[in-house]
Structure 1
Amino acid sequence: MNKKQELAANLPWDNPRFRTWIAVARAEKAIVRALGKGLEPLGLKIAQLDMLMNLYRHPGQSQHDLARRLLVGRSNITMLLPQLEAQGLVRRENDASDKRILRLHLTPEGEARLMEALEVYTRLIDRVMAQSTPEACEAMGEQMRRISEVLAED
């Protein structure tokens, strides 16, 4: 076997793990595309939705805490926050004990927009996950969590 044939024999096309990996990557892209399209009429992007969901679940957190929860740099939060403030969805308040820290809160409009966005998100999840049994969904979720944990170690 020459060098070219040897290299071709080691390509991953027929490896089931490779095919599954590609399927996961394509599914993620399709989900992002569908969710982004669904959020457009609400004037939201996915990263903004992530921020709103986290502020709803953990009101009063700092920008640093929010960035840590979302696994992004503080600069990402710094760029998105003014957009959400300009839409009247988020407000910043000084921390009572440390004036250097700003606490983030949803406004009533922010909470209302989040609820609309969650309807869009839930419909998408229901549509996609209806193809699987609850057990298969749980198994898929567990596998995705394990993948996230493995890659988080990097």
Structure 2
Amino acid sequence: MNKRQQLPWDNPRFRNWVAVARACHAVERALGAALQPLELKPAQLDVLMNLYRHPGMAQNELARKLLVGRSNITMLVPQLEERSLVKREGDEKDRRVNRLSLTSQGEALLMKALEVHMALIEKAMSAVPPNECDLVGEHMRRITEVLSAD
């Protein structure tokens, strides 16, 4: 960027993008702290939530859904298995595929974690009227689609 080019500080898109990024970081920090008593990390909660909603999901599908590499899932799953929260079973049709599902302990912990997560979401979004919450979500989904298309 040379001196003749406009710096981004005054650009509303830049300014608002930074605000979104800061909010995201603040939520991640707050969620991490709130989940500590349950000995759960936000990434682990993401896994539990997705397996609750999609039992029997393959590890590679889970990685795609969470927008992370397969190596991330390969590291997370054994941690959750050790705690008897997740079970891994081979696919009947393809032995290379592992299917994941929650154990009853995993489901019970997820329900506690969802209470914590929802309380944080309610606190964070309390300053925004419900119709504006929908608008924020709509914009974030559009941004995700645009960036996912690349």
TM-score greater than 0.5 by the shorter chain = yes
Counterparts of 1:23-38 in structure 2, within 5 Å, are 23-38=19-34
Cα RMSD (Å) of the superposition?
Answer: 1.4
2:77 aligned with 1:102: no
Gaps of 5+ in 2: none
Q: Secondary structure at the match of 1:137?
A: helix
Structure 1, 30-39 or 68-77: larger mean CA deviation = 68-77
Q: Deviations over 1:16-46 (max 9, x none)?
A: 2221111111101100100111111111111
Give distance in 2, aligned partners of 1:116 and 1:14. Answer: 43
Secondary structure of 2:96's partner?
coil
Could you tell me which amino acid in structure 2 is paired with residue 77 of structure 1?
I
Q: What is the CA–CA distance in structure 2 between the aligned matches of 1:97 and 1:16, rounded to whole Å?
A: 52
Q: 2:44 aligns with which of 43, 48, 51?
A: 48
Alignment match of 2:110 (pick from 114, 129, 132)? 114
Report the Cα offset of residue 137 of structure 1. 0.4
**Matched position secondary structure for 1:93:** strand
Cα drift, residue 133 of structure 1: 1.0
Deviations along 1:54-92, whole A, 9 cap, x unmatched?
A: 100010111112112112121111111110011110011
Counterpart for residue 130 of structure 1:
126
The match for 1:19 is 15
Secondary structure of 2:100's aligned partner: strand
Aligned residue pairs, count: 149
CA distance in 1, matches of 2:27, 2:46: 15
State the 1:105 CA deviation: 1.1
The alignment-based identity, stated in percent, is: 62
**Equivalent of residue 67 in structure 2, options 45, 64, 71:** 71
Q: What's the secondary structure of 2:139's corresponding residue? A: helix
SS in structure 1 of the partner of residue 32 of structure 2: helix
Larger Rg: 1
More deviation in 62-71 or 104-113?
Answer: 62-71
2:148 corresponding residue in structure 1: 152
